[in-house]
Amino acid sequence: MANGRVNFLTDAIFWQTIQQTKNAFVEFFGEWCSPCKTLAPIFAALAQDNKGKVYFAKIDIDRNRRATSQFEVQSVPMVIVFKDGKPLGKLPGLRPYADYDMILEQLLGKGPDESSYV
């Protein structure tokens, strides 16, 4: 599933997809959100750089209210990190590549304890 691309999720397939992943980064975004547009190439680069290790996806908050409500997403972009189908934490706002990369290293067991960022 960690195919090196940013995949699009919907409410209908959200949990089914996340349950099939070992590690996942899911961005909650809005089409109208300027910081979300800035995050798009960063997320794409992260997906490519972590191909085979981490599943990357995004879900539109305006079209997918159930997941948005379930995770109490109040602002976008909001990245939620999952491990073994369970949410580990939220990363609100736009961050540089290096911040996400550091968290990925923790998630993959290459850095400090993964709970240190949540």
Catalytic sites, residue numbers: 33, 36
- Give pairs for 83-90: CB < 8 Å, separation 24+: 83/22, 83/23, 83/24, 83/107, 83/114, 84/22, 85/18, 85/19, 85/20, 85/21, 88/114, 88/115, 88/118, 89/115, 89/117, 89/118, 90/118
